[in-house]
Copies of this chain bind each other. A is one copy, B any other.
Amino acid sequence: MVTMGDLTFEIEKIISEVKARNARRILLQFPEGLLPYVTRIASLIEEQAGVEAVTSLDPCWGACDLADSEALTLRSDLLIHFGHAPWPTQTKVPALFVECFSKREIAEQAVKAALSLGLKRLILTSTVQHVKTLPLVKKALEDAGVSVTLKSDSKRAPYPGQVLGCDYSNAFSPDADTTFFIGGGLFHAVGVALFTGKRVISLDPYTGEVRDVTPNVRRLLLERYTHVAKAKDAKRFGIIIGLKSGQTHINVARSIRDALRSSGKEAYLFAMREVVPERFMNLGDVEALVVTACPRIAIEDGPRFPIPVLTPDEVEVVIGRKNWVELYPSINEKVEEEDG
């Protein structure tokens, strides 16, 4: 185990896997937050395993974004993917997932936050780097009299309480009225609220900041509503197929194309690796987009696109197969109550 910053890396697991496979060339892949460590990690592995390491510097947003075809292009014997839990997929090049866990202790901060906010019945969630601490946090909260649920219901997120940008199965519970999310940034905290419809309190273990993300989710839902409303008036749709290994959903894209065409719209299939707004500035006459690659792209990056961008589920509302309240039920009711 090697420690860098407050993170631990299982370098020994890599060395033994490289040796067991007799690998000569490996490809390393890191999410953005681990970029500061890449040269030290590559050096360690090259020296200790006698292997040639190439590091992918393309953006990497999750375990679904696996540099498998890149490893094939580079004739790597092994792909080592850092920072995400294993993704259930077949790869062309053998892949080793190396999580890296934070050593930060959170229990005390968590108890303080829960007591000061008067939280009684929580479900506890986090991202992979903090999942190891969740049982400790649960125990500390229970000792302080808080009822805590920790769930393991997801096929994609293997650790109890772990959430992914596209999978919040471990955050649903009838026994809790509040989700307590441990982690930095708003991406996952807002994701939990959007997909579960429950109130979310987030605790950033690095800054200590505690916040209720409901206002952020409300703003996001109004944005989504605007995209859907504008898309209803669009005649010509582009449907984006992702080219990343865990984001290629061709049949979903085809069925959306057919549904749109049946509703009297024009619909075109597009393929992209990185779904970035810049490519749509010159795209002539396309008036709305549907992103099938990752459901979070439309939600997080929507405002940066020059035309409305939808998730596959939102298309159902555009063509009248679902209504808005079915799509985003609980929180939407709250928005309607407050706005109505």
The complex places the Cα of A53 from the Cα of B238 at a distance, in Å, of 12
A319 at the interface (CB under 8 A from B): no
Please tell me how many copies of the chain the complex holds: 2
* CB–CB B57/A240 < 8 A: yes
* CB–CB B282/A55 < 8 A: no
A151 at the interface (CB under 8 A from B): no
A335 at the interface (CB under 8 A from B): no
Chain B residue numbers with a CB within 8 Å of A75 are: 250
Given contacts A73-B243, A74-B250, A248-B73, contact A57 B284 (CB under 8 A): no
Given contacts A58-B243, A73-B69, A73-B248, contact A52 B283 (CB under 8 A): no
A141 at the interface (CB under 8 A from B): no
* CB–CB B283/A38 < 8 A: yes
How near does chain B come to A41, taking the closest CB pair, in angstroms? 10
Which A residues between 255 and 306 are near B, CB-CB below 8 angstroms?
Answer: 266, 268-274, 279-280, 282-286
* CB–CB B268/A39 < 8 A: yes
The complex places the Cα of A43 from the Cα of B67 at a distance, in Å, of 33
* CB–CB B39/A279 < 8 A: no
The complex places the Cα of A250 from the Cα of B27 at a distance, in Å, of 13
Number of interface residues of A (CB under 8 A): 46
Given contacts A35-B284, A250-B74, contact A273 B271 (CB under 8 A): no
How near does chain B come to A56, taking the closest CB pair, in angstroms? 5
A236 at the interface (CB under 8 A from B): yes
* CB–CB A271/B35 < 8 A: no
How near does chain B come to A287, taking the closest CB pair, in angstroms? 10
Name 6 A/B residue pairs within 8 A (Cβ), A-sorted: A27-B271, A32-B282, A36-B283, A56-B270, A57-B283, A75-B250
Residues of chain A at the chain B interface (Cβ within 8 Å): 27, 32, 35-40, 42-43, 52-59, 67, 69-70, 73-75, 236, 240-241, 243, 248, 250, 254, 266, 268-274, 279-280, 282-286
